Structure 1
């Protein structure tokens, strides 16, 4: 496995070049002033103040080059620290997001379990005193609404069967049956409402438009369950569901034939 290539910044490269240039000038000056020869001469044999001139040369040129190199290396260090802080910030954000997702996943699982528990507790009885429990409750509810509506419509004269009139009749029967089972349905609807609000809040805080929690929730809905939820939203019996549909497309997988518009159309003369 090859070692990673070292990439120098412009500041760092300039600083190193200035250090090399200062070193070259230092060596050149030592040779130029013949400093090694001057060291072995007696003081009276030396011509002028060679060491003083050499010191001025070093301080004026080499010292300036190395001081400038120090400035560039200082900026290079600041750049590296800035990049390091940015990487740490990104890693911290990732860690916070993972922690947030883990916490929400635990909360989501508890609400889904509660949702399934509430559905299991739903029970209705037909005229034969047979129990319709769990998801069959929604099937029974849908059949009650549909049979009441169809029986009423088929006793009407053809002239009465206008879309507006049929729409009012369907709404009346739906609300009537909904209110009859409302005490059983309230825990189910409230829990589902809180669940969608939590998902909405998580989506906003995590800035995750592609979160899969809403998809998991929607995947559990049966068509009969969607029949109930769709018309609860349609008739504003629970206002939140209208906004949930706009946000999560709750009724995207619902069959058109179960919607009030299609049901009415089949009964028009």
Structure 2
């Protein structure tokens, strides 16, 4: 049955209309057969078979109308039940989605904490034995690659300073320094890769294209950190980040000056 304020369905309207029609016919038949008058007459004076005719009339017309009304009201009940089932299924889906999000949030936070712990453990020393720790490690790595590249390029003859050659030199120095610190960087990159895979799986399972976990993750990256990840992907040291960039635009916030093409262009213009 409909809730207060809910409109009647066409089945209910038809059913109630047939019930009213049956009542009208019942009253009309009672008057037509002069049934009340017959009831007050002496049995000997009553017309023969009037009650039988009245019963056939009621059963044939009124009974049929009310039976049809019952069919319409039955369909109306089924319609409301179907609507209620759809609402319950929708609420269940929302509940499952909330539960799924809560579970993923817990898992996501644990991986983010692990990610931060790995960053805090990154350590490098310069020639003065000064410590570059945590996020400063990426700053040191960035400066190390640029310094090596610039020193090499500025010792070349002008004829050797082609874009292709300089890009090759940049890649060589980046790969060299990456290999030197690879034991420290591998846990960082693998954990970050798993983190993006988790987000990708969550997005696929929930069909939530607007999830905010990838935005939170990307917002934590510094430019020096993006410099490392970008060139790890660019130089095929870890191809997974190319796919992640296609899915999450990981490098959309990386400044042009941190890219190999810009650094090479600056050296060529000098």
- TM-score calculated relative to the size of structure 2: 0.97
Range 22-31 or range 178-187, more displaced: 22-31
Once the two structures are superposed, the pairs formed by residues 1-269 of structure 1 within 5 Å of their partners are: 4-269=4-269
Matched position secondary structure for 2:132: strand
For the residue of structure 2 that corresponds to 1:215, the secondary structure is helix
The alpha carbon displacement at 1:190 in A equals 0.4
Residue 51 of structure 1 deviates from its aligned partner by 0.6
Give how far 1:211 is off: 0.5
Kindly state the Cα deviation for residue 156 of structure 1 after the two structures are TM-superposed. Answer: 0.1
Task: Compute the displacement of 1:224 (Å).
Answer: 0.3
Distance of 2:185 and 2:178 partners within structure 1: 8
| TM-score (normalised: structure 1) | 0.97
Structure 2 CA distance for aligned equivalents of residues 225 and 136 of structure 1: 9
1:237 to partner: Cα distance: 0.6
- CA drift of 1:42 comes to 2.8
- Corresponding residue SS for 1:124: strand
> What is the SS of the residue equivalent to 1:268?
helix
- State the 1:96 CA deviation: 0.6
For residues 172 and 185 of structure 1, the distance between their equivalents in structure 2, rounded to whole angstroms, comes to: 18
**Cα displacement string for residues 72-128 of structure 1 (whole angstroms, at most 9, x for unaligned residues):** 111111111111111111111111111111100111111111111110010001111
Unaligned 5+ residue runs, structure 1?
none
Shift of 1:236: 1.1
Q: What is the CA distance between 1:4 and its match in structure 2?
A: 5.0
Shift of 1:226: 0.3
